[in-house]
Structure 1
Amino acid sequence: MKFYVILIFCLMDQVYGLERPKNESKYVTPEYILPCHKTDPNINTCLVGTFNHLRPYLITGIKDIEVPSIDPLKIEKLIMENGQGAFRVRASFYNITATGASNYSVKTIKADVENYHIELGIKLPRIEIRGKYEVNGNVLLFPVRSKGDFWAIFLDVDAAAKIFGKEVLRDGERYMRIDKMLVDFRLQKSRFRIRDIINHGNVIGEAMNQFLNNNSEEIIKEMKPAANAAIAKHFKGFLNSAFLKIPLPIWLPGA
């Protein structure tokens, strides 16, 4: 008898097109996402919790949306070019490994969810970076050519990011795509070290190391716009790879 009742309901579903209950979502929320409803009056506080909730998952990476681990964070290449001021150089960095990003904490968020604009304030206690570099240009009117390995450490980093997104439709699903991203940062202390394979072991190589550390604040100030642009370009691609795999209703119900 039970079998026939089930069969009748299945036939009715096909014939009359019985619908899923209105309050039953077709989406399954993964454990690494804490959704924030679009109409939540405390949406900014909710999003702070959402971004901080992601931290342990970002350490190991999130396979189902192809997000790699952020600690260590691997960056294939960053190009910084500064054509003004005392430091007119083009600096290329390769095979970069950054550690310490998993200790981030999102302190503030200001979101305009109607227009998909998000401003974040982020704190990073310590970032250590290693990789290879190549620099060509002029420093204080002197020509500079340097290539080799680099190491840098940054302490007490305060970063700010502005995300300008828009809604897009892909395969019948709605997603947010980042069209523009701006990044800025301040740091309390920094330390640099390079191993120049062109000038290694001579007076020029050692002088460059001393110059980098004795003038680190000025160098960072001069190169900051180029660094901001390069970092924003990288993380725009990084974040889009995730946002374009998670439909809007999963992380922003009501959108």
Structure 2
Amino acid sequence: MQSAYIIAALTICFLGFSSAGNMPDYIKVCHRNEPELAKCLKTSVHNLRPYLAKGIAELNLPPLEPLYIGDLNILDGSNGLTVQAKKLNILGASNFEITRLRASMEKQRFDFELILPHLQGDGQYELNGNILALPLKGSGPFTGNFTNFVAYVRIQYDIKNVNNLEYLHLKEFALKIRTGKGSLKLENLFNGDKVLGDVINETINQNFEVFTNEVIAPIARALEEKFRVITTKILENFTYSELFPL
């Protein structure tokens, strides 16, 4: 979840932080004919991490520390498990590291990979169903620690003319997440039965990657659509020349 939010913020950075006239002085400008455009964009975004942590009001970017996700329907029961997360907060999101980035103005495409070294999360959960052949039921607070989650994103765009001005138009925003290591603690499983709760928590953490792989696909799909809308809204505020000056 948090991975996907960071991806949306990075997309805005890549496509919106390249205009010297409209951006603050601390933004490193990358021109469309930059010989090493990918390297320039990577440096620019990495320089922005402390500002993203605090939020950038003029770009309507909320703080990444903490990153408030809020309520999210994760699984709807179609695979035997219903999961809802509520009041979800994430710490550590601004410490992302871009590991690979390919930028092609000719192909109108960006591909990038980033790693989230360490994240902490907390919130409320509700779940009911079966996973790993185990019955699960409960609601209450949860906490989690996550290391080395990796996100892959493909962005495809075209250029549209609106009132004789050129704007970037998002054609595709594809997101995949690869889970890393971590641990979860779900409180109040089975209405507070400590013995059963400890057994389930231990089983989940012994099979952490399997457990997260069960739920990561629907999370990625939901957040992909959410951040497609966010990115499109941002792009409507800048012309192509403002975003990528010559």
TM bucket, shorter chain: 0.7 to 0.9
Distance in 2 of aligned mates of 1:97 and 1:208: 23
What's the CA shift string for 1:134-172, capped at 9, x where partnerless? 223332555533222111111123322222334456677
Return 5+ residue gaps in structure 2 as ranges: 1-18
SS across alignment from 2:192: coil
| Letter matched to residue 211 of structure 1 | T
Q: Confirm or deny: 8 A CA contact 1:66 1:241 kept in the other structure.
A: no
Cα RMSD of the aligned pairs, angstroms, is 2.9
Distance 1:101 1:34 in 2: 21
Please name the residue that 1:88 is paired with: 80
Match of 1:217 among 204, 209, 214: 209
SS across alignment from 1:52: helix
1:37 correspondence with 2:31: yes
Q: Which residue of 119, 139, 143 corresponds with 2:111?
A: 119
Query: Does residue 190 of structure 1 match 2:182?
Result: yes
Q: Which residue of 2 aligns with 1:98?
A: 90
Taking every aligned residue pair, what percent have the same amino acid on both sides? 25
Matches within 5 A, 1:139-178: 139-140=131-132, 143-168=135-160, 174-178=166-170
Which piece of structure 1 moves more, 43-52 or 232-241? 232-241
Q: CA deviation at 1:32?
A: 4.8
Q: Tell me how far 1:207 sits from its aligned partner.
A: 2.6
- Secondary structure at the counterpart of residue 196 of structure 1: coil
User: Could you say which structure has the larger radius of gyration?
Assistant: 1
Unaligned 5+ runs, structure 1: 1-24
CA distance in 1 between counterparts of 2:161 and 2:185 reads: 47
What's the TM-score, normalizing by structure 2? 0.78
Instruction: Give the TM-score, by structure 1 length.
Output: 0.75
Structure-2 change in CA distance of 1:174 and 1:157 (3 Å): same
| Separation in 2, partners of 1:252, 1:68 | 24
What's the secondary structure of 2:29's corresponding residue? coil
Q: Separation in 1 of the partners of 2:188 and 2:26? A: 43
Q: Which has the higher contact order (CA 8 A, sep 6+)?
A: 2
Q: Aligned pairs, how many?
A: 228
Query: 1:201-228: CA deviations, max 9, x gaps?
Result: 4433333212211221211222232232
Q: Which string of whole-angstrom CA distances, capped at 9 and with x for unpartnered residues, describes residues 28-82 of structure 1?
A: 3333533322222321112212222221221111111211111111112233237
Question: What's the counterpart of residue 63 of structure 1?
Answer: 57
Contact 2:77–2:129 (8 Å) recurs in 1: no
Question: C-alpha separation between the residues in 1 aligned to 2:25 and 2:152?
Answer: 27
